[in-house]
Structure 1
Amino acid sequence: MNGKPATERFDFDAVHDRSHFGSAKWANQWDEFSPRVEGENLISLWTADMDFRAPEPVIACLRSAADHGIYGYTKRDRRHYEIVRSWFERRHNWAVDLETLLPAPAIMPSVAAILRTFTQPGDGVIVQAPVYSPYFQVVRDNGRNLLINRLTLVDGGYHLDLDEFERLAAKDARAFLLCNPHNPAGKAWTRAELESLDAICERYGILVVSDDIHCDIRLNNRRHIVFSSISEGAAAKSFICTAPTKTFNLAGVPSATLSVADRGRREKLFAVMQASFMVNANFFGRLALEEAYSSGDQWLDNLTPYIRDNIDFVCDFAAKSLPGITPMRPDASFLVWLDARELDARVGGVHRFLVEQAGVNLYDGRVYGPGGEGFIRLNVGCPRSVLEKALTRMAIALSSI
């Protein structure tokens, strides 16, 4: 794989002070989906950014650009899209055609643009809850009808409810927001599952907007399957949304890419994005994307086992010392979905209990919609020592009840 020489060292154990530069995570500055959390000395493992430095080549690239001192207009050229294609081809066996790629500032603004372009007010949009909370907002705030297809929890894992999905599809659905891999559970959908969803969407003429932002951190041997790759029909109806921001911890310098195989829809969407002034590249975001996708392989290949070991640590620790909390092992991402439903009922809200009694701030599962009640989401994208400290605090708090 591409990347720095094997002699480069990756220190994911280093603890960095993130209390400055406006860090939302460590200021516990909650967004519009949940109330702000107050408290001194809180350990913040809630929102989905990591506490690791980006790859050194990315830092060096941005430092050089910053030192240049001229931050004028920039653009994405053919080389930019070749870098994107090369990344997905070598990492995920997805040889996307360059002509299908469109520039985007970030994924959620792009989802909003897609819905505004190809659906009408009142049209139904299917989401699969529990799911990333901005999905609810992007549907409702754009005047579309939110249709919730609840995932089925069986033996500690989520499965599709295809009967309910088809019932919603036959109702008034026009689009489907696919979270692939699924956030918060880290579920990587199989080809068979994607084909089942595709068949229903094809039958009812439903467009598929696939958010693949968590696809790169793979925790088992299963490859990521891009929805548009499963068939020509799937490609024709889909909008694939990608970004390096979760992979390389670049949420503050965002840049995204869309793949729209259907030429007519691609041209129509690009016109809407131009009219919304969404296509001008961010100076630093473009550079970060190009450098990360060009030279970040080795960094990611070292990060992934570290995340996997953190998840193993959580699972082992929970089994021994966190009664009432059962982790769901993810297929991808640095997020762990914790089932604490019985504990939640016993303490009158497990999220608030952990904030007040343990000084640990996780994400309340209720944020993720129906089916999230009694769950909490833990971000393990942090040094092991920080994770151990947080879990130890949680264990002490639970031992008192």
Structure 2
Amino acid sequence: MTYLQSGVPTTSKLVAEGLDFDIVHDRSQFGSAKWANQWDEFSPRVEGEGLMSLWTADMDFRSPAPVIARLREAVDHGIYGYTMRDPHHYQIVKSWFERRHSWAVDAETLLPAPAIMPSVAAILRTFTQPGDGVIVQAPVYSPYFQVISDNHRTVLINSLKLVDGRYELDLDDFERQAANGARAFLLCNPHNPVGKAWTREELEGLDAICERHGILVISDDIHCDIRLNERRHIVFSSISEAAAAKSFICTAPTKTFNLAGVPAATLSVADPKRREKLFNVMQASFMLNANFFGRLALEVAYTSGDDWLDMLTLYVRDNIDFVLNTAATALPGINPMRPDASFLVWLDARELDARVGGIHRFFVERGGVNLYDGRVYGPGGEGFIRLNVGCPRSVLREALGRMASALASL
């Protein structure tokens, strides 16, 4: 962690290493879904001249300089043929999680995957039957509903409890859902959109219920790397041998290093029989061929991305502080929740939502700011909005200023 230990580097050093997060980049020329404000599957299209986009979960920062250099080298090579992930690749993944999260994952448990959501679909098709119940904890990442329903499984909702501005598990309801035809549980760890990093005790409570009812656990850990407080990431499979035996841990560097357009993911499946069965299904679905650029990006990011991630985390943390301070002084009716992880802030605007007839549309039409409407996250998301702070401070400042002006006009 060179930069954190040796002080603040010079501006030229920051720029050279891709660590100057204040630079504003024009993303419109490369078909950015975020800045086109169009994502057909999960959110209504919105349009507007000069509309600011702080909604979908990618960042407006350049990836680490070593990643860019390696990809540029690969582009210049000019041959983009079939590629593979060799044993060294899995050692890189293993080393990353040991170094950053003290998770001593066995490299033999690791499987290649194109991305997390296709992997979730493959797991559901392999180990559940049409009509089986799959538990999700709403409000939650909206594609979960789609991957369950479109694969003809039944969504079972275990709603999180909002207590004094923080979300908690409802284990009594989870037990009821577990007994209601559930075969699998889709865990968001850390949770998107509420930003909660689950504790070991909370995961143990979920594990005990899943063990009693024979429920498999599919854990989506894509937001685990950007840690905003002292709370460590706890991988579900690390809490016990029983938890490992029933779990599928889904990881990717795409949120951490802003690599969603060059995806690569890794699954950890501790049970060897389930691992072989899933491998065969993924192979039959042609899911195992590595993306030429995605594989390279993952390896370089996990090998040399620590300093970049440390500096990014500090910047995101400061952006979150800026949101909380601004809300307290200039955004009446907006109550942000400080996340434990990632670059997403969940805003409670329920009173305003009822007053203006829809808070998402209000900020689009009156402020020229597009956030994510909490309704897409299922029951419990009504009246909330999700704010992406993975952007230069000047962009965030302008967006919050627009929101403040819109509220002042009421």
Give the TM-score category using the shorter length.
Answer: over 0.9
How far apart, in 1, do the equivalents of 2:165 and 2:41 lie?
Answer: 29
Give the deviation of 1:222 after TM superposition: 1.1
Which of 175, 182, 192 is matched with 2:201 structurally?
Answer: 192
Counterpart of 2:210, as a letter, is C
Aligned partner of 2:66 in structure 1 is 57
Partner residue of 1:232? Answer: 241
Q: 1:143 to 1:338 in 2, by over 3 A?
A: same
**Counterpart contact for 2:190–2:196, Cα < 8 Å:** yes
> Is residue 2:154 matched to residue 1:145?
yes
Given that 1:318 and 1:327 are in contact with CA atoms closer than 8 Å, whether structure 2 keeps it comes out as yes
Structure 1 match to 2:85: 76
Who is 2:342 aligned against? 333
Q: Measure how far apart 1:30 and its partner are.
A: 2.2
> What is the aligned partner in structure 1 of residue 315 from structure 2?
306
Identify the residue that residue 351 of structure 1 maps to in structure 2: 360
Q: Which amino acid aligns with 2:44?
A: P
Q: Is the 8 A contact 1:2 1:296 kept in 2?
A: no
For 1:98 and 1:219, the matched residues in 2 are separated by 28
1:247: which partner in 2? Answer: 256
Q: Which amino acid aligns with 1:179?
A: C
Counterpart residue identity of residue 92, structure 1: H
Which residue of the partner structure matches residue 93 of structure 1? 102
Q: Secondary structure at the match of 1:153?
A: strand
In the alignment, is the contact (CA less than 8 A) between 1:49 and 1:246 conserved in 2?
Answer: yes
Q: Does 1:173 align with 2:182?
A: yes
Offset of 1:4 from its aligned partner? Answer: 12
- Matches of 2:395 and 2:202, distance apart in 1: 36
> Aligned partners of 1:31 and 1:132: how far apart in 2?
15
Structure-1 separation of matches of 2:20 and 2:3: 16
Quickly say closer, same or farther: Cα 1:3–1:390, change in 2 above 3 A: closer
Which of 61, 76, 91 in structure 2 is aligned with 1:67?
Answer: 76
1:391 maps to 2:400:
yes
Amino acid corresponding to residue 223 of structure 1 in structure 2: R
How far the C-alpha of 1:280 sits from its partner, in A, is 0.2
Residue aligning to 2:136: 127
Distance 2:5 2:184 in 1: 45
Structure 2 residue corresponding to 1:375, chosen from 378, 384, 390 = 384
Counterpart code for 2:47? E
Matched, 1:15 2:10: no
Relative to the length of structure 1, the TM-score reads 0.99
**Aligned match of 2:125:** 116
Amino acid aligned to 1:69: G
8 Å CA contact retained: 1:2, 1:294: no
Preserved contact between residue 3 and residue 311 of structure 2 (Cα < 8 Å): no
RMSD over aligned CA atoms reads 1.2
Q: Distance in 2 between matches of 1:3 and 1:119?
A: 47
Amino acid paired to 2:113: A
1:91 Cα deviation after fit: 0.1
CA distance, structure 1, for counterparts of residue 5 and residue 251 of structure 2: 27
Residues 30 and 37, structure 1, Cα contact 8 Å, conserved in 2: no
Is 1:258 matched with 2:267? yes
Q: Distance in 2 between matches of 1:63 and 1:325?
A: 43
- Residues 234-272 of structure 1: per-residue CA shift (max 9 Å, x gap): 000000000000000000000000000000000000000
Asked if the contact 1:3/1:295 (under 8 Å) is kept, the reply is no
Contact 1:311/1:329 (CA < 8 Å) preserved in 2?
yes
Q: Structure 1: 5+ residue runs without aligned partners?
A: none
Q: Which runs of 4+ in 1 moved over 2 A?
A: 1-8
Whole-Å separation in 1 of the counterparts to 2:195 and 2:269: 25
Contact map agreement 2:4 2:311 (CA 8 A) in 1 = no
CA drift of 1:295 comes to: 0.2
In structure 2, the residue matched to 1:275 is: 284
Provide the C-alpha distance between the structure 2 equivalents of 1:252 and 1:23, rounded to a whole number of angstroms: 10
Q: 2:115 aligns with which of 103, 106, 111?
A: 106
Aligned equivalents of 1:256, 1:317: Cα separation in 2: 36
Deviations 1:325-359 (A, max 9, x none): 00010000000000000000000000000000000
How many pairs does the alignment contain? 401
Aligned to 1:204: 213
Show the counterpart of 1:213: 222
Query: 2:43 and 2:199 mapped to 1: Cα distance?
Result: 32
For 1:375 and 1:38, the matched residues in 2 are separated by 21
